[in-house]
Chains A and B, each alone.
Chain A
Amino acid sequence: MDRLSLIFSALADPTRRAILARLSTGAASVNEIAAPFTMSLPAISKHLKVLERAQLIARGKEAQWRPCELKAEPLREADAWIEQYRQMWEARFDRLDAYLIELQAKSAEGKAASTRTTKTKKKP
């Protein structure tokens, strides 16, 4: 899998996003990370491995206390891609909006014309 796919699939899980949110407040040990969850320590470790493989977190070197730390760079990569996609759609919606206004104006003109011929035009 390419790097960005690893990042996207790592982010596609609520537990892993909760772990990242926890780490955004500072480094933490596996036990600390696992505390708010009902799942087992091995299950949490599995999630941490996925995050580590996507380089979203880094583990400390000390054998006993291996704190996990958030790494922002991959998040920026994912964000840059989403931003590019978003801009493409914003431009598309701009054109749709302008086109709908144009349509609305045309149909208003049409209505005004038919109103004139039937002499039911209201005074403004």
Chain B
Amino acid sequence: MNTSDREIIITRTVKAPRARVWQACTEPAHIDQWWGPNGFTNKTLGMDLRVGGTWKYTMTAADGTVFPNLITYKEVTPIDPLVYDHGDWENPKHFEASMTFTDVEGGTLITLHSIFPTKEARDFVVKEVGAIEGGKQTLARLEDHLRTLINH
């Protein structure tokens, strides 16, 4: 299926060789360190990196709210595009996405393709983004609290 008409493309060049970027995206010990969001704890419960395999993880906000996530791999060939369905435990396919890794001068270009979202996918992201905003507020509150403690 040609989905190029319905894609949202986000790119980023990172200063690391392609093999290392692949590793950071496909190994629990690494991906838990950055998948985030900021202020959240990402925890892998299981990762089975093969076609049809899943990555099951939780994102825990600073206030303790847990967001269960599930990624189902559809294409896994080091170091080619990583294609997957992203969803949660009840609804495993909210949207389809792929990450492509390309050698460029000084690092690796990551291209994230996401297909124009369905309503469910948008709600899913809004929930996550809402959680991110909530997390920021929690951190801001904590900062305020610490400041009060220091000042008194």
- What is the total number of residues of chain A having a CB less than 8 Å from a CB of chain B? 31
Which of the 9-residue segments A9-17, A23-31, A38-46, A65-73 touches chain B?
A9-17
| B5 contacts chain A at the CB level, 8 A cutoff | yes
Q: How far is the CA of A82 from the CA of B95 in the complex (A)?
A: 14
Chain B residue numbers with a CB within 8 Å of A32 are none
Partner of B6, one of A1, A12, A93, A97: A12
Q: Which of A4, A14, A100 contacts B16 (CB 8 A)?
A: A100
- How many chain B residues have a CB neighbour from A under 8 Å? 32
Contact with A along B32-44 (1 / 0, CB 8 A): 0111111000000
Q: From residue 1 to 52 of chain B, which have CB atoms closer than 8 A to chain A?
A: 5-6, 8, 10, 12, 14-16, 20-21, 24-25, 30, 33-38
- Let me know if A91 is at the binding interface, CB within 8 A: yes
Evaluate whether A92 and B116 lie within 8 angstroms (CB atoms) in the complex, with A13-B5, A99-B30 already known.
no
Check A95 for interface membership: any CB of B closer than 8 A: yes
| Most B CB within 10 A of own CB, among A9, A90, A97, A98 | A97
Question: What separation, in Å, do the CA atoms of A82 and B119 have in the docked complex?
Answer: 13
Q: Cα distance A93–B20 when bound, in Å?
A: 14
Contact of A103 among B10, B24, B110, B112 (CB under 8 A): B24
For B35, list chain A residues within 8 Å (CB): 92, 95
| B128 at interface by CB-CB < 8 Å | yes
Task: Report chain B residues within 8 Å CB of A87.
Answer: 129
A93-B12, A96-B14, A100-B21 as given contacts; A85 in contact with B119, CB under 8 Å: no
Check A101–B15 contact: CB distance below 8 A: yes
Q: Is the CB of B10 within 8 A of A91?
A: no
**Are A100's CB and B15's CB within 8 A?**
yes
**In the complex, chain A residues whose CB is within 8 Å of the CB of B15:** 97, 100-101, 104
Determine whether the beta carbon of A86 is less than 8 Å from that of B8: yes
Verify A93–B118 contact, CB threshold 8 A: no
Residues of chain A with a CB closer than 8 A to B16's CB: 100-101, 103-104
Which residues of A pack against B, CB within 8 Å? 1-2, 4-5, 8-9, 11-14, 81-82, 84-93, 95-101, 103-104
20 contacts between A and B (CB under 8 A): A13-B5, A84-B125, A84-B126, A85-B117, A91-B38, A93-B10, A93-B12, A95-B34, A95-B35, A96-B21, A98-B34, A99-B33, A100-B14, A100-B15, A100-B21, A100-B24, A101-B15, A103-B16, A103-B20, A103-B24
